């Protein structure tokens, strides 16, 4: 049976590129969640006026990959200890957040956060919050790293994260 979870770990191009390489993940879609404006644009989200975070919606086959593993990867592939910041990307839209749908997902997320805290010197600031809304990002944000390998941000920010992740998995 397929399930989905929405997470935000900084720029959605990075998070999308990581999860596209996880066995058992069926699809990854970049979008916006957790804000108060319907159908926000990228420009509006970046202005920090909508309350949304850049997120990815991950659809996965729970027979092949568990939510616990997906969240372990989440905490390993971004810095969950920096408030509203990932590298040079700064603003509330870059916050670290997990949107859960059920009490079971909330418990799994809290356990993943607790486990991850052992790997970080500073406290984890990741929000674990009930799902309220999600809006798909503009088409040009979808599959961004794969479609734009020569882009400067992709070369200097996304690619190193993807390569580090793949190396950690022995690939």
| The dihedral sign for the CA sequence 132, 108, 115, 158 | negative
How far apart are alpha carbons 148 and 51 in whole angstroms? 28
How many residues does this entry show for the chain? 171
How far apart are alpha carbons 92 and 45 in whole angstroms? 9
How far apart are alpha carbons 15 and 29 in whole angstroms? 10
Q: What angle do CA 28, 119, 15 make, to 5 degrees?
A: 15
Task: Point out which residues pair with 103 in neighbouring strands.
Answer: none
Q: Is 11 a catalytic residue?
A: yes
Catalytic residue among 11, 14, 46, 154: 11
- Residues designated catalytic: 11
């Amino acid at each position: 049976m397929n399930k989905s979870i929405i997470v935000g770990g900084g720029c959605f191009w990075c998070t999308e590129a990581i999860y596209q390489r996880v066995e058992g993940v069926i699809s990854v879609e970049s979008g916006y969640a957790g804000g108060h404006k319907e159908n926000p644009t990228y420009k509006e989200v970046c202005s920090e006026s909508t309350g949304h975070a850049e997120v990815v919606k991950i659809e996965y086959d729970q027979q092949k990959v568990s939510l616990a593993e997906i969240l372990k990867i989440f905490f390993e592939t971004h810095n969950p200890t920096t408030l509203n910041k990932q590298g040079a990307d700064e603003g509330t839209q870059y916050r670290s957040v997990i949107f859960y749908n059920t009490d079971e997902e909330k418990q799994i997320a809290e356990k993943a956060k607790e486990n991850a805290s052992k790997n970080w010197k500073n406290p984890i600031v990741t929000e674990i919050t009930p799902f309220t809304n999600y809006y798909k990002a503009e088409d040009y944000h979808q599959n961004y790293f794969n479609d734009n390998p020569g882009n400067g941000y992709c070369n200097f920010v996304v690619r190193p994260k993807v390569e580090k992740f793949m190396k950690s998995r022995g690939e």
